[in-house]
Amino acid sequence: MKLYVYDHCPFCVRARMPFGLKNIPFELAFMANDDEETPIAMIGKKMAPILEDDDGHLAESLDIVHKVDGLSGERLFAGTPRKEITDWLKTWGSTVNALVIPRTPDPVFPEFRTASARAYFTEKKEATFGAFDGLLAETETHKAEILKGLGALSSFLPDAEASTIDDIMLFPTLRSLSILPDLAVPEPVEAYRTRMAERCGVPLVSELRKVA
Ligand SMILES: N[C@@H](CCC(=O)N[C@@H](CS)C(=O)NCC(=O)O)C(=O)O
């Protein structure tokens, strides 16, 4: 089984998680962000994650989670996430994006090793989110906001030793926020994301920087 991803992509992190949490062997392939040909050849559009197996190609992160979950042991990720988790993600999503998106085209991620891949991402995302310079200039405001959100999250975090659909929904966003090296993440949230990163085999961005 081969999973095609972008390392920065939270939907791709979702799809990687069940492999790690259930100890299922797989091959991880990082596509360049400006490589349109590879995903289009597999699923007819430029989108990741993509699972390639004997059945063909499967897109959509939650469909991949569902399929991989069915491969080994009892199902862990069926059911619906807790409302506190989905509400939290809805409430804080735009603040997370304002902080994460303008920092994302970084060569620490394999998909952004070339200047053309970084330019591709920047052009596409600036059309949606606005100029990165402007977003970066607002950093302190967005940081103060997200710290309120992370403070609130501390009181209803999932158990980092369990494996549920709550983790599949929440961890990718907390991992994305690890692109900010100096965000004073509350201790319970830091402990949760550090442990979940170990258990699912998706290193935090801070860890990627140590080996880059
Ligand atoms: N609903 C899809 C969303 C996947 C998605 O939006 N992937 C983004 C990367 S984060 C993508 O491939 N966008 C096209 C691009 O990067 O050019 C899923 O859950 O898998």
Q: What is the pLDDT of residue 121?
A: 98
Same domain, yes or no: 56 and 99? no
Whether residue 21 sits in one domain with residue 47: yes
Percentage of the residues of the chain whose pLDDT score is greater than 70: 100
> Are residue 98 and residue 199 in the same domain, yes or no?
yes
Q: How many domains does the chain have?
A: 2
- Please determine, for residue 13, whether its predicted confidence score (pLDDT) is greater than 80: yes
Structure tokens at 200: 């699912």
Over the chain, what is the mean pLDDT? 97
Query: Residue 117 has what pLDDT?
Result: 98
Ligand 1 centroid distance, CA of 62 (Å)? 12
Note whether 56 and 50 are within 8 A (CB): no
pLDDT of residue 212: 72
For 37-62, write each residue's pLDDT tens digit. 999 999 999 999 999 999 999 999 99
Domain boundary among 11, 42, 69: 69
163 belongs to a structural domain: yes
132 lines ligand 1 (CB under 6 A): no
Residues sharing a CB contact under 8 Å with residue 79, sequence separation 6 or more, in sequence order: 164, 165
In a domain, 32, yes or no: yes
Asked if the structure places residue 117 within a domain, the reply is: yes
Q: What is the CATH number of the domain that holds 23?
A: 3.40.30.10
Residues in the chain: 212
Asked whether residue 64 falls in the same domain as residue 92, the answer is no
User: The CATH number of the domain where 94 resides is what?
Assistant: 1.20.1050.10
pLDDT of residue 186: 98
Q: What does residue 200 show for φ and ψ, rounded to 5 degrees?
A: -95, -5
pLDDT, tens digit (0-9, with 9 covering 90-100), for 165-202:
999 999 999 999 999 999 999 999 999 999 999 999 99
11 Cβ closer than 6 Å to some ligand 1 atom: yes
pLDDT computed for residue 211 by the predictor: 85
* Ligand 1 centroid distance, CA of 60 (Å): 8
Rounded to the nearest angstrom, the distance between the alpha carbon of 71 and the centre of ligand 1 is 24
Residue type, 140: E
Q: Whose CA is nearest to atom 16 of ligand 1?
A: 47
Is the minimum distance from the CB of 60 to ligand 1 under 6 angstroms? yes
Which structural domain range is residue 32 located in? 2-69
The sign of the dihedral angle between the CA atoms of 150, 153, 155, 161 is negative
**46 Cβ closer than 6 Å to some ligand 1 atom:** yes
- The answer on 195 and 157 residing in a single domain is yes
Alpha-carbon span 125 to 119, nearest angstrom: 10
Residue 76 placed within a domain? no
HSE toward the beta carbon, residue 153, CA cutoff 13 A: 32
